[in-house]
Structure 1
Amino acid sequence: MAKDSVNPGHGSRYGRYTGGPDPLAPPVDLAEALDAIGQDVMAGYSPERAMQEFLRRGGRDQRGADDLARRVAERRQEILSQHNLDGTLREVKELLDKAVLAERGQLARDITMDDDDRTFREMQLDDLPASTASAVSELSSYDWQSAEARAAYEEIKDLLGRELLDQRFQGMKEAMAGATDEDRQRISQMLSDLNEMLEANARGEHTPEQFEKFMDEHGDFFPENPQDIDELLDAMAKRAAAAQRMMSSMTPEQRQELMELSAQAFGSPELMDQLSRLDGNLQDARPGEDWGGSEQFEGSEGLGLGDGTGALQDLADLDALSEQLSQSYDGSRMDDVDLDALSRQLGEDAAVDARALAELERALRQSGYLKRTSDGELRLSPQAMRQLGKALLKDVARRMSGRQGARDMRQAGAAGDRTGGSRPWEFGDTEPWDVTGSITNAVLREAGSREDVETTRAGVRLQMDDIEVLETEARTQAAVALLVDTSFSMAMDGRWVPMKRTALALHHLIGSRFRGDALQLIGFGRYAETMPIEHLTALDAMWDKGTNLHHALLLANRHFRKHPNAQPVLLVVTDGEPTAHLEPDGEVWFSYPPHPVTIAKTVKELDNTGRLGAQTTFFRLGEDPGLARFIDQMARRVDGTVVAPELDDLGAAVVGSYLGSRRPGGSYRDQFGDWTGGRGFWAG
């Protein structure tokens, strides 16, 4: 808010703040944007494109660039569908009809006029050409008998002069209403001086002093208040180019009529000469403007030359805004959007939306969530990965339980690592007290009570509800291998993004709550490979045929052997039977349907996993009966578990299985009951 004025008797008045972005506006919330960008990145978009897509769509409470572009297109169509460009011709015809009608009446009433003279004049009026321009030209030498008719005819010339000037100098039509001969002479002098200055500039002879002198003498004709000749040229060339496009948008008959009428402007052909000279100078100075375009107006509301030119300028503004909002050119930014033009065309609310999008984009680029690699590409930063993983883990927690935090381990003791969080004490808890939090709760409670001051001075009294305990983590260490199927069927059947979401949620959980655990992410398609989380989340859909679970198990067992003192946990997400295995020479053998050798090698490596003591869970995606039989048999060999969740519940199923594997003597199923997720089921 900005103070508007001060009235000593009635206090201050305040109005809308107009000094830029609202300084009291809440900071930009990046959480929603980052989540949406992360989803698109996992779907295969580059971070740059993902950010642009979010800015185009907008958020829950933020209109996006697409919505603004739609309103721009609607405004453009509204201008074209409501108007046409014959407004000046209509006005001229109405004035001409008024003049002729008044003259006929005068001839009929004047009893002193010679009959032959009356008959001759009536014949002149009867024989006027059908063309308005030709009729106006023919009457230029007519000796009007009616004062009213003469005034109407003179108004035609005045209207044409004002409209022609309004085409080049916005607002001139109203400013020149009732102009005197002295005013017209001043206009003529301004045009002459302007043309001389522009021509001197084209020759390289212009000086700032010449511009200052010109503005001192004629500055009232330029409300834009240009500060130098370049600003003057920019403003005038845009207007003049719009005037040219307006003429091109007329029908050939309309254009011819106006060209003939132009000679009657102010009754001075010199005006048209000066304006034509000005148009040439502007076109030479700014050839890049659109001097040859046209539009198809289809409405019934006629526009005069000045208003029509303004409409063409509006259309040019709207076209530029449409391009800016499309963000389809290299290096595009929401900062490119002309907020002044957007406010003029759509209102201040649209400019506020565009400014908010620009601030959001700027905040995303400056927040550290997006970073440039050495090859110049934009990537999600580790900070962004943590934030996205946190959001995904919250979603997993909501699916796992009706109350947030059900996923947390409640084991505690001296051997536990503190998580940094605290919670209210419950019966049976043995965690250390959060002394600061507990005392703070007591102080706040007593401060809100109605006890007298003396009692309060006696000290702070703790109650059971005030006590909070520090959350700790058990030191049970796990070596976790998450094997995710990256074969083409995962992408083809829409399982690519849920797979990545699951991996990122588990990665964040282990990285933030169970830092002692060692997580290995392994993707397996035709080959298997270990992947950092940044690689997996940015991985494009793989279209190579092959599901090489054998290779993935080899890598998982190598991971388990590197951590001999940790509990091995194997989590396998797949939607197909093994169709490939790794040969001793490192080459891949592929066969579909699955070859018995591939099955044998895969089963053998799974047996090695079982001998290492791994707690194994298979997450079966899809309804393939052959896959179901194979997975069930594999799980029985290693006393493992099969989960068949639907895609939305995959993350909760994997995280739940991991948490269950960390509980001594029991699985997640034992601790939390059968996992159904509303739709999935346990098997095996």
Structure 2
Amino acid sequence: MSRYRYGAYQGGPDPLEPPYDIRSALDAMGDSVLEGSSPGEALRALLRRGLPGGRDRRARRGLDELLRQVRQRRRELRERGRLDGVLEQARALLDTAIGQERAELFPDPSDEARMREAELDALPSDTAQAIRRLSDYDWRSPAARATFEQLKDLLRRDVLDAQFQGMRQALANPDPQAMQRVRDMMAALNDMLDADARGEHTQEDFANFMREYGDFFPDNPRNLEELVDSLARRAAAMDRLLASLSPEQRQELAALMAQVMEDAGLAMEMTRLGEALRARRPDLGWGTPERMSGSDPLSVSDATAALAELADLAELEAALAQDYPGASLDDIDEEAVRRALGRQAVDDLAELRRIEKELERQGYLQRSGGRLELTPKAVRRLGETALRRVFSHLEGGRRGDHDQRDAGQAGELTGSSRPWRFGDEQPLDVVRTVGNAIRRNAQNPTGDRSVKLSVDDFEVLETERRTAAAVCLLVDLSYSMVLRGAWGAAKQTALALHSLVTGKYPQDAIQIIGFSNYARVLRPTEMAALDWDMVQGTNLHHALMLAGRHLDRHPDFEPIVLVVTDGEPTAHLQPNGRSLFDYPPSRQTLTLTLAEIDKMTRRGATLNVFMLADDPRLVSFVEEVARRNGGRVFAPEAGRLGEYVVSDYLRMRRG
């Protein structure tokens, strides 16, 4: 028999992996698009908010949350300690050594002891100058000599570690050979930088350098550029450390560091390295002061590390803010995110980057002239989502179906029955009717075997009618809709109704008409990305003319006209085709608009109006429309507009 082994697929992306579910991201974008944002703006808003969680996936942090955490980390670092800690620590050790020496000299009555005390009294207050003066002092006290050596060793390791991360471990037990190796490393590093400046450096040279001196660089750079970047950031941080101190502290610390480098025999090589790093990375904010508000003193190494991290966080904060021209998620350094916020933040960032690519790959977004646009597939999805939201708020009823259940003798039987109601014209369900009477009589036996029928016994056979309807939704697009916060609700309603009609009942013919100073027929892709214009006029007259043409093209269809508006008509179409605006509405505007309503009545179209405001003029006009046409008037809140419109459409289709 053949032997089979099963394991993870290794030939690239898993061919059986389900497609990336981008629909929730598109739905989240849709709300912004319907409120008037462009697809590009809606996508950026989604990236800032992050992805909502679901049953099978966890929520993903957006750029705003990552930015908040970066800023919190910066505050924590600033409160970590004081930058002058090394001066305080060095001064404390120096004072300890001097005190131990004085304790040794005090019992000695000789002139030599008094001379030594005088020399100690004459030491300058500057720590660096005092250490230089004492470098050749012949300590009488062994304890004082040990403390002074501890001070020099601490400064040497601390200052070197500030430039080369990991130097503390390399110099934990310094000896002449260890210091010579440090000098050799510095010389080799500078020679390698000079060779690179001449164009003579190779990757093999770098590999040889790391084999020899790699223990000085625990971050394990892969090439010279990574090594230069690491060293330059720490050098720039040390430069900012000096700039952040007071002039007196700056001078004292600079002198102290220079003394350490000179004693170690590294002054010349360190100068060469600093000049080379500054020349290669002048963009690192050299000399920019940074404010630290903590109370604990920091060593030079710790202060430099804190300032280097603060600089990295500042760059990361700027990248996450995305508030500069041409900003892109590709500008955000994943390694910087990992260092600052951890691995999970990198995963969240990768998920955000994937959104835009998947929206384009799966056909929801397309680029035209450098701009993002919604595709018809995306608009259909937004319509379906809007419709689901509408139905999620509707109570009872048959959701989404508008079959006529009271269709008379011409209807088609469904196979079910229901209790008879006054006015029903459906066929009588004789079997169920008689059965109801027999069961009722059996519960109340009187000895009479005859079956007596009661009104409650009657049931009729359900029938349904699937007549086609010509549907017109007239949506006010004037600027006042934006001011009242109804803009997004109106567009969402139009998409929901369009999705219902075209998706489940394609026999119906629907037309969406938007009107402001002029009226125009809107395609679904236009509705989603439609932006408002600051124009004057509510030209219902023109909108009714277009709706009438749509009904006339479908004379055998059941006419349904729905109007969504927040104001009375203030414009009409003139014979020359131009729109005339007048406020308060002119008599001619009202006369022409009501004439179109009368035409709708003669067509047999019931015109239902959804008012989004309660202005007296609007109420008066709408009441006149209802009186002339016989339609109904609704006054929904903007957030429930979709429920009212879709419910009314279904109600009228049921007769």
Q: Cα deviations across residues 567-606 of structure 1 (Å, max 9, x unaligned)? A: 1211111111111100111111111101001111111111
The CA deviation at 1:208 is 3.5
Q: Tell me: CA distance 1:60–1:247, structure 2 relative to 1, closer, same or farther (3 Å).
A: same
Counterpart in the other structure of 2:187:
192
Matches within 5 A, 1:366-405: 366-373=361-368, 375-402=369-396, 405=398
Letter in 1 for 2:600: T
Counterpart in the other structure of 2:64:
66
The CA deviation at 1:266 is 6.4
Counterpart in the other structure of 1:534:
525
The CA deviation at 1:278 is 0.2
Distance 2:219 2:394 in 1: 63
Counterpart in the other structure of 1:148:
143
Distance 1:567 1:369 in 2: 34
Q: Cα deviations across residues 509-568 of structure 1 (Å, max 9, x unaligned)? A: 111111111111111111111111221221222221111111111111111112222112
- Could you tell which deviates more after superposition, 43-52 or 132-141? 132-141
Counterpart in the other structure of 1:675:
none
| Contiguous gaps of at least 5 residues in structure 1 | 1-20, 418-424, 430-471, 667-684
The CA deviation at 1:223 is 2.4
Distance 1:473 1:330 in 2: 60
Contact 1:400–1:407, Cα closer than 8 Å, also in 2 = no
Contact 2:128–2:259, Cα closer than 8 Å, also in 1 = no
Q: Tell me: CA distance 1:22–1:134, structure 2 relative to 1, closer, same or farther (3 Å).
A: farther
The CA deviation at 1:345 is 2.0
Q: Cα deviations across residues 50-95 of structure 1 (Å, max 9, x unaligned)? A: 1111121224433322111111111101111222211221221121
The CA deviation at 1:361 is 4.2
Counterpart in the other structure of 1:600:
591
Contact 1:473–1:514, Cα closer than 8 Å, also in 2 = no
The CA deviation at 1:141 is 2.1
Contact 1:28–1:360, Cα closer than 8 Å, also in 2 = no
Q: Cα deviations across residues 353-372 of structure 1 (Å, max 9, x unaligned)? A: 33333344443343322222
The CA deviation at 1:287 is 2.5
The CA deviation at 1:617 is 0.7
The CA deviation at 1:655 is 0.7
Q: Tell me: CA distance 1:104–1:500, structure 2 relative to 1, closer, same or farther (3 Å).
A: same
The CA deviation at 1:301 is 1.8
Matches within 5 A, 1:365-444: 365-373=360-368, 375-402=369-396, 405-410=398-403, 427-428=416-417
Distance 2:549 2:481 in 1: 25
The CA deviation at 1:29 is 4.6
Contact 1:333–1:358, Cα closer than 8 Å, also in 2 = no
Distance 2:206 2:77 in 1: 36
- Could you tell which deviates more after superposition, 555-564 or 237-246? 237-246
Counterpart in the other structure of 1:41:
33
Contact 1:95–1:153, Cα closer than 8 Å, also in 2 = yes
Counterpart in the other structure of 1:432:
none
TM-score (norm 1): 0.81
The answer to whether 1:99 aligns with 2:90 is: no
Q: Tell me: CA distance 1:332–1:28, structure 2 relative to 1, closer, same or farther (3 Å).
A: farther
- Could you tell which deviates more after superposition, 258-267 or 519-528? 258-267
Distance 2:327 2:499 in 1: 33
Letter in 1 for 2:220: N
Distance 1:478 1:225 in 2: 73
User: Which of 15, 22, 30 is the equivalent residue of 1:30?
Assistant: 22
Q: Tell me: CA distance 1:266–1:144, structure 2 relative to 1, closer, same or farther (3 Å).
A: farther
The CA deviation at 1:134 is 2.2
Matches within 5 A, 1:168-247: 168-247=163-242
Q: Secondary structure in 2 aligned to 1:188? A: helix
Q: Tell me: CA distance 1:267–1:236, structure 2 relative to 1, closer, same or farther (3 Å).
A: closer
| Contiguous gaps of at least 5 residues in structure 2 | 1-12, 54-58, 419-462
- Could you tell which deviates more after superposition, 151-160 or 629-638? 151-160
Q: Tell me: CA distance 1:614–1:499, structure 2 relative to 1, closer, same or farther (3 Å).
A: same
Q: Tell me: CA distance 1:338–1:263, structure 2 relative to 1, closer, same or farther (3 Å).
A: closer
User: Which of 339, 345, 361 is the equivalent residue of 2:340?
Assistant: 345
Q: Tell me: CA distance 1:473–1:159, structure 2 relative to 1, closer, same or farther (3 Å).
A: farther
Q: Secondary structure in 1 aligned to 2:135? A: helix
User: Which of 485, 504, 509 is the equivalent residue of 2:500?
Assistant: 509
The CA deviation at 1:49 is 1.4
Q: Tell me: CA distance 1:283–1:78, structure 2 relative to 1, closer, same or farther (3 Å).
A: same
Contact 2:473–2:513, Cα closer than 8 Å, also in 1 = yes
Distance 1:89 1:366 in 2: 59
Contact 2:261–2:267, Cα closer than 8 Å, also in 1 = no
Distance 2:291 2:155 in 1: 23
Matches within 5 A, 1:69-84: 69-84=67-82
Q: Cα deviations across residues 279-308 of structure 1 (Å, max 9, x unaligned)? A: 101122223332232211121122222211
Q: Tell me: CA distance 1:69–1:27, structure 2 relative to 1, closer, same or farther (3 Å).
A: farther
Contact 2:242–2:287, Cα closer than 8 Å, also in 1 = no
Q: Cα deviations across residues 322-368 of structure 1 (Å, max 9, x unaligned)? A: 12222234454445433332232233443343333334444334332
The CA deviation at 1:428 is 4.1
Q: Tell me: CA distance 1:402–1:290, structure 2 relative to 1, closer, same or farther (3 Å).
A: farther
Contact 2:400–2:500, Cα closer than 8 Å, also in 1 = no
Q: Tell me: CA distance 1:410–1:586, structure 2 relative to 1, closer, same or farther (3 Å).
A: closer
Q: Tell me: CA distance 1:23–1:245, structure 2 relative to 1, closer, same or farther (3 Å).
A: farther
Distance 2:652 2:472 in 1: 12
Contact 1:635–1:641, Cα closer than 8 Å, also in 2 = yes
- Could you tell which deviates more after superposition, 219-228 or 596-605? 219-228
Contact 1:98–1:149, Cα closer than 8 Å, also in 2 = yes
Q: Tell me: CA distance 1:348–1:301, structure 2 relative to 1, closer, same or farther (3 Å).
A: farther
Q: Tell me: CA distance 1:272–1:259, structure 2 relative to 1, closer, same or farther (3 Å).
A: same
The CA deviation at 1:402 is 4.7
The answer to whether 1:128 aligns with 2:155 is: no
The CA deviation at 1:96 is 0.5
Q: Tell me: CA distance 1:117–1:365, structure 2 relative to 1, closer, same or farther (3 Å).
A: farther
Distance 2:361 2:316 in 1: 25
The CA deviation at 1:411 is 5.3
Contact 1:334–1:361, Cα closer than 8 Å, also in 2 = no
Contact 2:383–2:499, Cα closer than 8 Å, also in 1 = yes
Counterpart in the other structure of 1:283:
278
Distance 1:648 1:47 in 2: 22
Counterpart in the other structure of 1:482:
473
Contact 1:167–1:243, Cα closer than 8 Å, also in 2 = yes
Equivalences, count: 589
Counterpart in the other structure of 1:670:
none
Counterpart in the other structure of 2:49:
57
Q: Cα deviations across residues 236-272 of structure 1 (Å, max 9, x unaligned)? A: 2222222222222222222111121123316626312
Distance 1:240 1:28 in 2: 45
The CA deviation at 1:473 is 9.1
Letter in 1 for 2:297: G
Distance 1:416 1:331 in 2: 62
The CA deviation at 1:206 is 2.5
Distance 1:205 1:535 in 2: 60
Q: Secondary structure in 2 aligned to 1:231? A: helix
Distance 1:370 1:207 in 2: 45
Q: Tell me: CA distance 1:398–1:212, structure 2 relative to 1, closer, same or farther (3 Å).
A: closer
Contact 2:166–2:216, Cα closer than 8 Å, also in 1 = no
Q: Secondary structure in 2 aligned to 1:83? A: coil
User: Which of 93, 111, 115 is the equivalent residue of 2:110?
Assistant: 115
Letter in 2 for 1:43: E
Contact 2:379–2:528, Cα closer than 8 Å, also in 1 = no
- The percentage of counterpart residues that share the same residue type is 47
Counterpart in the other structure of 2:436:
none
The CA deviation at 1:133 is 1.8
The answer to whether 1:258 aligns with 2:253 is: yes
